[in-house]
Amino acid sequence: MIQPAKEFVVATRKSPLALKQAEMAVACFEQAIPGTVYRVEKMVTTGDRQREWSLEKEGGKGLFTKELEDALLEKRADFAVHSAKDLPSEMPKGLSIAGFLPRESPEDVLVLKKGIEIPKVIATGSPRRRIQLRFLYPKAEFIEIRGNVDTRLNKIAEGYADATVLAAAGLKRLGIVGSEGTEFVKLGLDDCVPAVGQAAVAIQCRTSDVPEYERALDSSTSIAVGLERAFMKRLGGGCQVAFAVNYSDGKLRIYHKDCGRVSRSIPIQYAKEKPTEIADQLIQQLELGHA
């Protein structure tokens, strides 16, 4: 007798990028776990509803995750798909990160209004980006911007500001290689250290279900983001603070107000085995306070 396919309910935000990432997660699990089907539940988070909020002033912790986490805890969903950079360092009791999809390139992209070479006004709500961009454009002024990727691109083309900054991974996942009225310039990892978890897609589930999902997910991304999140847990961090850590190709890059930008070579095996120890040692060596 043929067994019916097992259905999983997938919680995601409703933005085009979030839906694309949910689609990627479903494709990953369909291949890794035969005999399964998936139903995507689109949800609106507090951060989506409060489009006029300044994430820096209001605080960004949990704004884009709580409603999805509630669905997991109430068993209305089996797993949730998040941009890893949106996830706070602490999980609600009973929930865990099962792992991550393979990570895309973590760099930021400077989106310039066509014809602008040196921006005088840069639109970004991220203190991390703003402070690092001041090294590149010391005379620039900064203003807030909210909205999905298309909204931000249109605002720059229409002259809302001379430039904004978007994650290269999000642009790639949406198939955007350019847009009318703008020009794209990729920022090097050493010029603008990305946010913790940037370009990684996290799969969150009930802790008891982790073994069901983790075998399908990417181990190297888990090591990298695990190390980055070890710093975030020790120092705090999120949308509202100027703090960044990225681990790529054996190199750890840090931006913090107390030390500026620094980098260290970290073997991947050491990153896998001792993420908290690495974070504690470097925080002490660099004399870093709370972000």
What structural domains and CATH numbers belong to the chain? Answer: 6-104+196-285 (3.40.190.10), 108-186 (3.40.190.10)
Specify the 3-state DSSP secondary structure of 37. strand
pLDDT score, position 291:
58
Each residue's pLDDT tens digit, 135-193 = 999 999 999 998 889 999 999 999 999 999 999 999 999 999 999 999 999 999 999 99
Specify the 3-state DSSP secondary structure of 286. coil
Going by C-alpha positions, the residue among 188, 207, 167, 162 that lies closest to residue 248 is: 188
pLDDT score, position 210:
97
- Separation CA 256–CA 1 (nearest Å): 60
H-only helix segments in the chain: 16-32, 46-49, 55-58, 66-73, 127-136, 149-157, 168-173, 210-214, 219-235, 268-273, 275-285
DSSP 51: T
* Four-residue CA torsion sign, 194, 198, 199, 200: positive
State which residues of the chain have pLDDT below 70.
Answer: 1-4, 47-63, 237-241, 290-291
Catalytic residue check, 86: yes
Q: Which two tokens stand for residue 245?
A: 């850590």
Task: Please state, rounded to an integer, the average pLDDT across all residues of the chain.
Answer: 91
pLDDT score, position 236:
76
pLDDT score, position 1:
46
pLDDT score, position 60:
52
pLDDT score, position 241:
65
pLDDT score, position 45:
79
Q: What is the CA radius of gyration of the chain?
A: 19
Which of the residues 48, 70, 78, 86 is marked catalytic?
A: 86
CA distances for 74 relative to 93, 101, 119, 194, angstroms = 12, 25, 47, 33
